[in-house]
């Protein structure tokens, strides 16, 4: 299952970054990539995604993205080894809400992340130690649909 997740995510590489979009080849943000992988695995999305701003509820401090991930994905213990296909949730600044998602993969044996990068596209980039230190939660796609 986890290898399939990486395979699907890689098929999105090159999709232009578009806020709130989730259409392979046309546009996607980081949540849109996860939504697209979900649709390929299970069909329909588990819930309607409300409109969201690029600041992801930072003014209110609500962890909306984290709560949504916990509703539909399987939490992974922090101490376990990260596996290919795991969904990683990042807090990009200390004290801010977690608002970036990506799928863990290996590229040439090195840890990497498939994610939609603002101003660029969906890409696979090295999961550097500074970025890895920003991971606040990780999840796996469930074996069955939600």
* Backbone angles phi and psi of 134, in degrees to 5: -90, -5
Summarize the confidence of residues 80-93 as an average pLDDT. 92
125/119 Cα distance (integer angstroms) = 15
- H/E stretch holding 105 reads strand 100-107
Identify which of 104, 127, 121 has the alpha carbon closest to the alpha carbon of residue 13.
Answer: 121
Summarize the confidence of residues 59-75 as an average pLDDT. 89
Does the structure show a pLDDT above 50 at 136?
Answer: yes
Does residue 66 contact residue 138 with C-beta atoms inside 8 Å? no
Domain ranges of the chain: 2-140
pTM of the predicted model as reported, rounded to 2 decimal places: 0.92
22/118 Cα distance (integer angstroms) = 14
Does the structure show a pLDDT above 50 at 127?
Answer: yes
Does the structure show a pLDDT above 50 at 146?
Answer: no
For the domain bounded by 2-140, which CATH number is listed?
3.90.1720.10
What per-residue confidence (pLDDT) applies to 79? 72
What per-residue confidence (pLDDT) applies to 56? 64
What per-residue confidence (pLDDT) applies to 25? 97
Does the structure show a pLDDT above 80 at 145?
Answer: no
What per-residue confidence (pLDDT) applies to 95? 82
Where on the phi/psi map is residue 28: left (φ > 0), alpha (ψ -120 to 50), or beta?
beta
What per-residue confidence (pLDDT) applies to 58? 64
pLDDT of 93-124, one tens digit each?
A: 888 889 999 999 999 999 999 999 889 999 99
Between 46 and 55, the higher pLDDT residue: 46
- H/E stretch holding 140 reads strand 135-140
């Amino acid at each position: 299952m986890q290898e399939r997740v990486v395979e699907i995510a890689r098929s999105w590489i090159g999709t232009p970054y578009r806020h709130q979009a989730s259409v392979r080849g046309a546009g996607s943000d980081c949540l849109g990539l996860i939504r697209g992988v979900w649709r390929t695995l299970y069909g329909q999305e588990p819930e309607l995604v409300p409109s969201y701003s690029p600041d992801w509820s930072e003014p209110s401090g609500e962890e909306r993205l984290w709560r949504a991930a916990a509703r539909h994905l399987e939490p992974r213990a922090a101490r376990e080894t990260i596996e290919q296909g795991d969904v990683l949730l990042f807090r990009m600044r200390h004290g801010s809400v977690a608002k970036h998602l990506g799928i863990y993969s290996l590229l040439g044996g090195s840890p990497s992340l498939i994610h939609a990068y603002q101003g660029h596209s969906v890409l696979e980039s090295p999961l550097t130690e500074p970025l890895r230190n920003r991971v606040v939660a990780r999840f796996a796609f469930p074996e069955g649909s939600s």
